Each structure stands twice: as C-alpha cells, then as structure tokens.
Amino acid sequence: METTALLIILAIFIVAVLYSSVGHGGASGYLAVMAFLAVAPEVTRPTALVLNLFVASIAAFQFYRAGYFSWNLFWPFAATSIPFAFIGGMIKLPTNVYKIVLGLVLLFAAFRLAWKFASDAKGLRPPKIWMALMIGACIGSLSGLVGVGGGIFLTPILLLMHWSETKTAAGISALFILVNSAAGLAGNYEQVSALSQDVWFWIGAAVAGGVIGSLLGAKKFESLTIRRVLAAVLLFAAVKLIFV
C-alpha cells in the first residue's frame, strides 16, 4: 500500500478517536484530510458521511449506555434536521462556493475542538420547542450541504444555552450526527458511486478509532490539548480552502 494511502488511514483513525471522544462523528476532520489532498467535492461529501455513520453509531451507543442521553432534548432538534439534511444533500454547490462554505465550517469546527466548555449541570433549562425546531432545520440544511453530521454546531449550542451538561450533550450530538448523516447521504445517493476503492480501509480505521474514542469519552478522558492540535490542522485546511 502506498505511503499516502497509509497516511490517510492513520489520519482517519486519529480523527475518529478525538472526535468520538466528544460524541462527534469526525466529518469535518475527514473533510480537512481530503482538503489537504485536493479531493473533489463529489467524493468528499459522501465519504465523510459514510465514515460518520459508523463512528457516530458507536459513539451514540457508548454514551447512551453510560447514561448520557436525553430523548426530550434530542427529538425536537432531530425532527426538523433530518428532512432538511436530506434536502441539503441533494444540493450540489459550484466547487468554488463549496470550498468557501466548507472552509467556514472547518473554522467553526476548529473553534469547537479548541474551546473548553464548562461541565456545570447547575442552572440547566430545556429549550423552547419552536427554537429547537428552527435550530435543527438550520443545522440539518448546512450538514447535508457540506457533508457533516451537525454535531459541531449542536454541541456548543446545547452548552452555551445551558440546555445540557457536557457528557449528555455529547450523547445527544452523537445520535444527531448519525441520523443527519444518513439523511444527507440519502439525499446525495447519486455520488455514493464516487467513493474511493479504499473506502473499506478508511471505514475500518474510523470504526477502530470510534470504539477507542467513545469508550474514553464516555468515561474521564480529557483530550483538550490533543484536540487543540487537531484544531490547528483544521484551521490550516480552512485557510487553504478559502484563500488558495
């Protein structure tokens, strides 16, 4: 196997470990890896969503099993995000526009990984249903459009609005990513045939990383320093997409 192919597999494994430790599928990380390699958008979107399906399902199971989940918080966001992720997956942006939008998403993802959110469970309050429905629709649209699951947007919203504590937010986001990735992939099904022949190696690396990361994340893993290194990589990829 070529050195480049091995580096991709290693990068996917590392991304899966770090992202799944905070309840994420890792799509923005996979997209950053592929951006470095100048992979075409018609390949990056379905690839990132496929990898998300595997990693997010593992993370969702581990966090749910550990007791970090809330159906009451999950369902209003998912109710609108799923159909809008499907619609977003059907939309094919011009390459230059897609690169800018993806770059902005990676910038946000870098912030999400680098920032340490408080885990204080005091003063939590449930969101208003109409607000959760609107937020879900917006996140779903952008998720399907770019090829991410939306956890990088939902998690900070849940925490900053004091709707959830950190671990529960991770569990909610994991299942949220899973359903959005499935919906976005369904809307983008025509491009599934563009997946690389190496995709099964990538899936294997993502699954292995997802198992390790979600097990650590559902317990007491503190990965802030490592996540900040990954955030710097995402920042570089974002600048490359937007300005190069």
Compute how many other C-beta atoms are within 10 angstroms of the C-beta atom of residue 3: 7
Compute how many other C-beta atoms are within 10 angstroms of the C-beta atom of residue 197: 6
- Which of the four pLDDT bands, split at 50, 70 and 90, describes residue 69? very high
pLDDT at position 95 is 83
**Pick from 182, 86, 76, 178: nearest CA to 135:** 76
Q: Is the pLDDT of residue 119 over 60?
A: no
What are the tokens at 198? 């190496």
Q: Is the pLDDT of residue 123 over 80?
A: no
The fraction of the chain above a pLDDT of 90, given in percent, is: 35
Q: pLDDT higher for 115 or 120?
A: 115
The per-residue pLDDT for range 203-232, each reduced to its tens digit, is 999 999 989 988 887 766 655 665 676 677
Choice among 21-25, 106-110, 153-157 with the minimum mean pLDDT: 21-25
What are the tokens at 128? 């208003």
- Which of the four pLDDT bands, split at 50, 70 and 90, describes residue 122? low
The answer to whether residues 23 and 173 touch, using CB atoms and an 8 Å cutoff, is yes
216 burial class (0-12, 13-18, 19+ CB within 10 angstroms)? middle
Strand (E) or helix (H) holding 113:
helix 95-114
Q: Is the pLDDT of residue 183 over 70?
A: yes
Q: Which domain holds residue 229?
A: 3-243
pLDDT at position 114 is 75
Q: Is the pLDDT of residue 120 over 60?
A: no
pLDDT at position 83 is 97
- Which of the four pLDDT bands, split at 50, 70 and 90, describes residue 186? very high
Choice among 65-69, 177-181, 239-243 with the minimum mean pLDDT: 239-243
How far, in Å, CA of 208 to CA of 38, rounded?
25
Burial 201-214 (b: 16+ CB within 10 A, else e): bbbebbbbbbbbbb
Q: Is the pLDDT of residue 243 over 90?
A: no
pLDDT at position 190 is 78
Strand (E) or helix (H) holding 53:
helix 41-65
- Residue where the block lists tokens 């680098």: 114
What are the tokens at 131? 């607000």
Domains contained in the chain, number: 1
pLDDT at position 51 is 92
Name the average pLDDT for the chain: 85
Q: pLDDT higher for 220 or 168?
A: 168
What's the average model confidence in pLDDT over 93-106?
88
Chain centre distance of CA 64: 18
The per-residue pLDDT for range 143-164, each reduced to its tens digit, is 999 989 998 899 888 988 889 9
pLDDT at position 1 is 55
The answer to whether residues 145 and 88 touch, using CB atoms and an 8 Å cutoff, is yes
